[in-house]
Structure 1
Amino acid sequence: MEELITSSAGADVEGPGLVLEGSALWPARVAELTVPHTAAVWLVADDDLLRTRMHAAARYEQATDHERHLTDKFLARSERYQALMLDALAERDLDRVDVGGGRPVAELADAVLAAVEAQRSVGRSSASA
């Protein structure tokens, strides 16, 4: 991961940069990065929002019992992952932005950019949004 980031965001690299997202970007690994011009912000949501979005995407109300069972299993896994992620972020005091509350996308983008601007090291600013 660091090699990919270094090749796109290193001190001698010009260009638009690189945005990475995904569950493989675990806080412990990202917090160790020392690549210049690199920032990290995690987008988080509470369990209710995860459930609402997942049920809508899976058409839960119209799903068969088997499909609901699969959705419930995936949701439980997602909620566990989110809990572990939040613990890892808090443990390392890493920046996160809560995507809940019906905030418009532009407001969320501004919150992410503000967190990036305030970072003193990868993933760490003086305050999380």
Structure 2
Amino acid sequence: FAAESHVDRSILGPGEFINTNINGTFSLLEAARAYWSGLPEDEKAAFRFLHVSTDEVYGTLGPDDAPFSETTAFAPNSPYSASKAASDHLVRSYFHTYGLPVLTTNCSNNYGPYHFPEKLIPLIIANAQAGKPLP
């Protein structure tokens, strides 16, 4: 699913990030819950709501810090990461409140169509194609 994902833009205009990443997640959760509630039991058991988040929710990892894990406390440092942390909490609440089966990923580099060219994966591909040094 699409989300607002550009940290620098979140600093200049946090409202879009709040609306898309929090309210958008809420809308998706409500639609998924309504759909899931009407499924036969065997299909309910196979259903999963996949929430794609970010490692940014964990904050900054210093060179001497232990790697992030699923038990690392959230420490968002930007409106973007705060909006994603809020959406993560919302997804978790739907699991605990309604029993909606959820999966959350906290990837450091998601990739897909319309990816911003300055992001790591598109930048590596573009630099490799142009014979430029890789970051």
Aligning the two structures, in what range does the TM-score lie when normalised by the shorter sequence? Answer: 0.3 to 0.5
TM-score, length of structure 2 as denominator length: 0.32
